[in-house]
Amino acid sequence: MLIVGSKTWDFEDDNWQHQQDHKDELEFISMTGSTPSRATGPTEPAYGERYSYIESSSPNYPSKIGRLVL
């Protein structure tokens, strides 16, 4: 969950709308099943149909940045 001021965004909300910042190095990905990295991340959303995440396994760490435009 992301809270900014009085607004709240839930990364598992089917109606969650966001824009990628395409000037960054990582992108948020919307998924329904397991993440592609073995033994990391969820195997399914806790509720709802989708969840959003950033792939942070090698080679995407430790200094790469992913941003959302809210």
DSSP 66: B
pTM flag (> 0.75): no
> Is residue 13 over pLDDT 80?
no
Share of the chain above pLDDT 90, in %: 0
Dist. CA 55–CA 60, nearest whole Å: 7
> Is residue 17 over pLDDT 70?
no
Dist. CA 8–CA 61, nearest whole Å: 27
Nearest to 49 by CA among 65, 64, 32: 32
Position with higher pLDDT, 61 vs 55: 55
The burial of 41, by beta-carbon neighbours within 10 Å (0-12 exposed, 13-18 middle, 19 or more buried), is given as middle
pLDDT at residue number 14: 59
Q: What is the pLDDT of residues 29-45, one digit of tens each?
A: 888 888 888 778 888 88
